A and B are shown apart, each in its own frame.
Chain A
Amino acid sequence: MPIRSGLFLALSVAHSLTPGLTSGALLINEFLPDPAGPDAGQEFVELLNTGGQTHCLDGVCLQFGNGVESAQWETRWTGAVGDSLRPGERFLIVDRNWLGPAQGQAEVWLGLQNGPDALRLQRDDLTLDRVGYGALTDTAMVEGAAVPVVAGLALARRPDGRDTQDNSRDFVPTEPTPGEPNFRPYDLRLLDLQLDPPSADRPDVPVRVTAELVNIGTEFLPARPLQLWVNQEPGPTAMQEGWAPDDVRTVSLIFQATHAGPHDLALRHGDPGQTDFLTLPLGGLQVGPGPVILNEVQGAPVHHEGEWCEIRVTGSEPVSLGTFALRDEEGEWVALPDTVLAPGALMTVCQSPADFTHWLADLAAHGYSGDCPDVTAGEAPPTVAGSWPGLNNTAPDSRDFADRLYLRDGTGTVIDHVTLEADRSGASWERRVPAPEPGSGPNWRPTTSPASGTPGCANSVTRLAVATAGLTAAPPVLDPDSGSGNLHLSFTVPETAQAWRLKLFDLWGHPVRDLGGDARGSGPRDVVWDGRDDRGAVQADGPCVAVLEILDATGQGLSRNRCLIVVRRGSR
């Protein structure tokens, strides 16, 4: 999880003022008072012997002081006979029922609070070390000033063993490293990551990756190329000057995906084999439609139906929505209902099921059935597990759009998003096709439905789009070696038509595969091609043309759409 740069202001100040270590001592080197999730079994305190001689721990006490109760110290751990710590060694005291990765030398009930509180090491009447944290004002419980607490992060000396008698200068919030050095010599940490766009509709869309990084290591990073790696393949590079510890930099790189599907992004500093070589995972980017897409969004309702959005399954497998989540531009992620959706299914998720149902009843009472009878006949849709991500209807000064709705999968990758403009006059925002063609114009448009939305049924703008661009392939390149073993051909049979047939040909004009058809009337279709021909043989590398024929009830052809697709087995 990226740490905001505000935290690293403290880090930066601490490091820049480092005067070096004081004389050897037994110190509290790192502790975690407020772990992510439950505290039990995750809290720890790490001691470090910074002196030149072995330190006997017999009789040494770790005491907790409640900052609210003014210097009331309670012993949490006492060193046993025979406990000792050699120079440079660490001693890890962990909470009872320890869940952490490292082996603790002592397991006790720690019961650290989240501040204002303090810890101290005591031998008889002698205080060996003292750390105050949180909004602590009692100067008797702290060395210098207290160190602020950040939820989920440990408070650690930077570098290890640094002791200036001022806790606020010696400690910084950082990822917990129990039993290990607090900071490596060479290390980069991601403070913030921006992908523009957050997900790409199709492969030929340039994506700007902007990463805010900090040199979290204790050494100077020499000048090296910083290269973006996409799916383990090298991408664009930005040369970096030498990089001092705690320096924060923003790096911006642009790349263009070659195929649809999930993409893993990472940054590499230097080359493998160099001592300062670093790999920094950035997360994922979805190119083209994922297994689930946002299909329609109502962010500015005017009929008191509340906000809602429609989810669509694009793949050929059922999808369990329990791991997917939604958020808007400023909001927190909220989980979708834990429901399994069939391939091609639509599901509406709404802010208020009662208001939504009332709206449907209103439509029915006014005799509206329109072009989407399902609107008035559906059951109350579910809502999200948490606060609804309320969507802005006007653009704040900081951006030129009103809001964005993001859809995240179980890995944390944003697999789809929609940007909402201001002043939409009550019309829902509909997606035209799952994967738009280059030059086909905006893929999201206001609904043309008189009911101001089409939840649970085909989008009105999709039906309009059939006349111009009815057949899309996602991804356009079938590449089994890159995990893209199936290709989806999507289109919508218009209301004026009854049937369709879809065939593939090579560029000589030979038929490759008859993908069938049906006569079930209008509506969206998604046909999967597995890369095989009519005989079941694997289709050879090269281009094919998909031809979609739209037919009327008598079998008369109404229109014909074509689409170029390519088979590539690149690693052959």
Chain B
Amino acid sequence: MTGLSLRTVLLVWGLCLWPAVVLGAGLRDLSEAWLIDWPDALALVQGPSAADSLSTDWWLQVGTGRLFQMPELPQQRLETGVGFHLGGVRLGLGLGWETLGESLYRENQTDRWLSLGDTWRVVLTDEQALRSVAGVSMPDSRRLSLQAGGPLTRGPAWAVRVDCRLLSVDLGKGSDDPPRRGLARLTLTHYHLGVAVALDRDRTGVPQLGVDLLWGLGRGVGISFRADPVTGNWGPGVTLAVGRMQVRTSHVGHPVLGQTHRVMVGVGRPGRRSW
């Protein structure tokens, strides 16, 4: 399959499939606070050369937050990954662990992923969520999913990338597990301005639309705006990048439930831009 035909298939697939799969986006999990990937964010706040110059990847990210500032809903996330070439094929391996809640409700999510390819790549993800209520375990949930994505166009002024979830298979007993990523994501960059739009549906069938906008101010500083129009969550954030370290914050608020403040600190070489 040529790059063009693959690109066309992915675009059509993504636009047609996203309303049919019951998965939620939204600002529930810590990992959903930012939709623009780290290499893209690095390029936006430090310039394209910062990310393009790197050919091998490794990174470690640690994040924390408190959902709606409720003491019962602390969040933490730890994520690490590595990318390398093997036999002419670019491989990426990653591992993430995220927790939510404490004694009354506790959620432990782990995700493992394997990516094949460079700018066009396929990602196989294994997600598992273990939950407990007042110390008693609930049925676990597990999902295998396959995503594919790549640049639709790239140039000095505009670049567009699309990522789509092609397959999603539930393996666990719990069917109401928290989702991880949107079904389809479109990322556009224009010089120092980047916008990512994630499309999905939540488990009740309500369409989800997540928007993340990042404006690089130069010198490793960027400001962002994150919104989920359906749930009403929205708010600003800040991105700072110094050398191999990056700090991202998110300060979204729900009109009734209140503010959620999050911060993620990353270190490493996250690799080249995705296009």
Residues facing B in A114-150 (CB within 8 A) are: none
How far, in whole Å, are A547 and B256 apart by their CA atoms in the complex?
A: 8
Known: A203-B134, A540-B176. A545 touches B104 (CB 8 A): no
Of residues 130 through 146 on chain B, the ones whose CB sits less than 8 Å from some CB of chain A are 131, 133-136, 138-139
CB-contact partner of A204 in B26, B67, B73, B103, under 8 A: B103
Tell me whether A509 and B135 are in contact (CB under 8 A).
no
Q: Which residue of A lies closest to B26 (CB)?
A: A508
Report B-chain residues with C-beta under 8 Å of the C-beta of A503. Answer: 256
Take A505-B257, A509-B27, A547-B256 as given contacts and tell me if A564 and B228 are in contact as well, using a CB distance cutoff of 8 Å: no
Contact status A568-B138, CB under 8 Å: yes
Q: Say which residue of A203, A509, A570 sits within 8 Å of B257 (CB atoms).
A: A509
Q: Kindly state whether residue B206 has any CB partner on chain A within 8 Å.
A: yes
Contacts of A509 in B (CB 8 A): 26-28, 228, 231-233, 254, 256-257
Return chain A residues, CB-CB under 8 Å to B79. Answer: none
Contact digits for B159-174, partner A, Cβ 8 Å, 1 yes 0 no: 0000000000000001
Residues of A within 8 A of B136 (CB): 258, 568, 570
B70 at the interface (CB under 8 A from A): yes
Q: Would A566 and B206 count as touching, CB distance under 8 A? A: no
Q: Report Cα–Cα, A508/B233, bound state, in Å.
A: 9
Q: Is B24 an interface residue (CB 8 A)?
A: yes
Q: Mark A176-194, 1 if CB is under 8 A from B, else 0.
A: 0000000000000000000
* Residue among B67, B228, B233 with most chain A CB within 10 A: B67
- Choose one: A477, A510, A540, A547; the contact of B104 (CB below 8 Å): A477
Main SS class of interface, B: loop
Please state if B256 and A477 are interface contacts (CB–CB under 8 Å).
no
The yes or no answer to A572 lying at the interface (CB within 8 A) is yes
B62-75 interface code vs A (CB 8 A; 1 in, 0 out): 00000110101100
With an 8 A cutoff between CB atoms, is A198 at the interface?
no
Judging by beta carbons under 8 Å apart, are B27 and A564 in contact? Answer: no
Contact of B28 among A477, A508, A562, A566 (CB under 8 A): A508
What is the chain B residue whose CB lies nearest that of A565?
Answer: B104
Give, as a whole number of angstroms, the nearest-CB distance from A232 to chain B: 14
Do A545 and B68 touch across chains, with their CB atoms under 8 A apart?
yes
- State the Cβ distance, A535 to closest chain B Cβ, in Å: 9
Closest residue on chain A to residue B137 by CB atoms: A570
A444 to B26, CA, bound (A): 42
Residue from B24, B228, B231, B257 with most neighbouring chain A CB atoms (10 Å):
B257
From A203, which residue of chain B is reached at the shortest CB distance? B134
CB-defined contacts of B258 to chain A, threshold 8 Å:
560, 562
Check: A507 CB closer than 8 A to any chain B CB: yes
How far, in angstroms, from A541 to B133 measured CA to CA in the complex? 10
Check if A545 sits within 8 Å of B105, measured CB to CB: no
Q: How far is the CB of A550 from chain B (nearest CB, A)?
A: 14
Interface-central residue, A508, A541, A568, by most chain B CB under 10 Å: A508
A524 and B203 alpha carbons, distance in the complex (Å): 36
Nearest Cβ distance between residue B72 and chain A, in whole angstroms? 4
Chain B residues, CB < 8 A from A543: 73, 101, 104-105
- Asked whether any CB of chain A lies closer than 8 Å to the CB of B202, the reply is yes
B134 in contact with A572 (CB, 8 Å):
no
Contact among B68, B101, B138, B254 for A541, CB-based, below 8 A:
B138
Contact assessment for B67 and A568 in the assembled complex, using a CB-CB cutoff below 8 Å: no
Q: How far is the CA of A92 from the CA of B175 in the complex (A)?
A: 63
Known: A541-B138, A564-B70, A570-B136. A508 touches B105 (CB 8 A): no
Q: Is the CB of A508 within 8 A of B24?
A: yes
Whether A510 pairs with B138 at a CB distance below 8 angstroms is: no
- Binary interface encoding of chain B residues 215-242 relative to chain A, with 1 for a CB under 8 A from any of its CBs, else 0: 0000000000000101111000000000
State the Cβ distance, A235 to closest chain B Cβ, in Å: 13
A562-B70 contact in complex given A505-B256, A541-B138, C-beta closer than 8 Å: yes
Inter-subunit contact B26/A541 (CB<8 Å): no
Q: Which residue of A lies closest to B25 (CB)?
A: A508
Contacts of B100 in A (CB 8 A): 507
- Interface: B2 (CB within 8 A): no
**CB under 8 Å from chain A, chain B span 170-184:** 174-176, 178
Q: Least Cβ distance of A568 to chain B in Å?
A: 5
Q: How far is the CB of B90 from chain A (nearest CB, A)?
A: 34
User: Residue on B with the closest CB to A544?
Assistant: B105
Q: Pick the contact of A562: B24, B26, B68, B101 (CB < 8 A).
A: B68
Asked if A408 is an interface residue, CB under 8 A from chain B, the answer is no
What is the CA–CA distance of A429 and B200 in the complex, to the nearest angstrom?
A: 55
- Cα A542 to Cα B68 in complex, Å, equals 16
Closest to A475 in B: B134
- Would A508 and B67 be within 8 Å (CB), given that A203-B134, A543-B105, A566-B104 are in contact? no
CA gap between A477 and B133 in the complex, in Å? 8
A507 lies within 8 A of B134 (CB) = no
- Cα separation A545 to B100 with both chains bound (whole Å): 14
CB of A33 closer than 8 Å to a CB of B: no
**Interface status of A259 (Cβ within 8 A of chain B):** yes
Query: Is B5 part of the contact surface with A, judged by Cβ < 8 Å?
Result: no
Residues of A with C-beta under 8 A to B72: 564
Interface membership of A173, Cβ < 8 A: no
In the bound assembly, the distance between CA atoms of A563 and B203 in angstroms comes to 23
How many whole Å from B15's CB to the nearest CB in chain A?
23
Contact for A259 among B70, B105, B134, B228, CB less than 8 A:
B134
Inside 8 A of B134's CB, which chain A residues have their CB?
Answer: 203-204, 258-259, 476-477, 566
B206 and A510 contacting across the interface, CB-CB below 8 Å: yes
Which residues of chain B have C-beta atoms less than 8 A from A560's C-beta?
A: 256, 258
> Nearest Cβ in chain A — how far from B146, in angstroms?
24
Which residues of chain B from 241 to 256 have a CB within 8 Å of any chain A CB? 254, 256
Residue in A204, A547, A562 whose Cβ sees the most chain B Cβ within 10 Å: A562
State whether the Cβ of B204 lies closer than 8 Å to any Cβ in chain A. Answer: yes
Contact check, B204 vs A566: say whether CB atoms are below 8 A apart: no
Show 29 A/B contacts (Cβ-Cβ < 8 Å), sorted by A.
Answer: A204-B134, A256-B135, A258-B133, A258-B135, A476-B104, A505-B254, A507-B67, A507-B100, A507-B178, A508-B202, A509-B231, A509-B233, A509-B256, A510-B231, A540-B175, A540-B176, A540-B203, A543-B104, A545-B70, A545-B257, A562-B70, A564-B72, A564-B73, A566-B104, A566-B105, A566-B133, A568-B138, A570-B138, A572-B139
10 closest Cβ pairs, A-B complex = A509-B231, A508-B26, A540-B176, A258-B134, A564-B72, A543-B105, A568-B133, A509-B254, A508-B28, A507-B28
Given contacts A508-B26, A509-B26, A570-B138, 10 further A-B contacts (CB under 8 A): A203-B134, A505-B254, A507-B100, A508-B228, A509-B232, A510-B230, A540-B175, A543-B105, A564-B105, A566-B134
